[in-house]
Amino acid sequence: MEYRQFGRSGLTVSALGLGCNNFGMRIDRQQSAAVVHRALDLGVTLFDTAQMYGQGTSEEYLGAALGTRRPEVVLATKFGGPKPAGPDQAPASRRNVVRECEESLRRLGTDYIDLYYLHFSDPRTPIEETLAALDDLVHQGKVRYIASSNLAGWQIADAHHIAANLGVTRFSGSQVEWSLVKRAVEDEIVPACERFDLGIIPYFPLASGLLTGKYTAGTEFPAGSRMAEVPRLAGDATDANFALVDRLTAIAKGQGHTILELAICWLLSQPGVSSVITGATTPEQIAANVDAATWRLNPEELAAVESAFV
């Protein structure tokens, strides 16, 4: 396993991270533990969850599975998920930052969170209020590093300058949806991260399975697959995307690799990427993902990938 610095911070993370959004939603406590233990044995140190995954069940399962091996890992979770209509509709308010941190600590069975993400932007709360609350948690020792997720490029820049002006802890990185199928982040978000030395953590690197060979044009989605179970994801299964995947598959095969390996390693070959988050529902899947993460594309191979988009 390769290990990388998280942006300009002192945090070191495994090049492949385990996304735990399946815990409590697609797999039970026992299966979640089996996936975690296999990941640990293979050198994965970054474990990524969120308060909203399984309504907290993911955090519970992950904390239980880590047990005494908690000090070996970088434990990342998120606050500020969408809230239902009602009087408490500001997900990133000081009240919610503090409350959700305490709840996550309890569910995870730990007294500190290594990496705490603002999950989504909150138009109801000034970012300076959120940053000040997070800074308090850092000084209390409950959080070690903070980061953002799903922010626009201008919001990343805004948060950086406001943190500098206030003299509070700044975001060390950003988690973004980025894959060979979804590259819009390269327009503004990735450049913003590079400008401010933020570690970039791509999620959904396999485009919900499109970049695994699991789906083929003109056929029904396999039972139990993400696209079969989550209708909004099925919108990516377009003729244009299937044609792109075919071109990328041919490029990967020409180098003796699979489309899955290309999808993961293309991201790991991008400047600023600290780790790539992949999910798994079985120990075999996490082993396959770890094996896939060993290839690094040379300039000629990167150019060949770009040719698939022309």
Which CATH number does the domain housing residue 71 bear? 3.20.20.100
Query: With contact defined as beta carbons under 8 Å apart, do 211 and 241 qualify?
Result: no
H-run or E-run covering 266: helix 259-268
Q: Is residue 120 part of a domain?
A: yes
Higher pLDDT, 124 or 87: 124
In sequence order, what E strands does the chain have?
3-5, 12-14, 16-19, 46-48, 74-79, 113-118, 143-149, 173-177, 199-203, 276-279
Residue 212: pLDDT above 80? Answer: yes
Half-sphere exposure of 7 (CA within 13 A, CB side): 24
Q: Is residue 90 part of a domain?
A: yes
pLDDT > 70 in the chain, percent = 93
Lowest mean pLDDT of 87-91, 151-155, 240-244, name the range.
Answer: 87-91
Active site residue 53: yes
Q: Is residue 191 part of a domain?
A: yes
pLDDT attached to residue 88: 74
Residue 89: give the domain boundaries: 3-209+270-295
Question: Considering 3, 53, 116, 215, which one is annotated as catalytic?
Answer: 53
Q: Is residue 248 part of a domain?
A: no
CA distance 62 to 265: 26
Show the tokens assigned to 241: 């995307």
Q: Domain tally for the chain?
A: 1
Q: Is residue 253 part of a domain?
A: no
Torsional class of 39: left (φ above 0), alpha (ψ -120 to 50), beta (otherwise): alpha
Torsional class of 242: left (φ above 0), alpha (ψ -120 to 50), beta (otherwise): alpha
Reported as a pLDDT band with limits 50, 70 and 90, residue 83 is confident
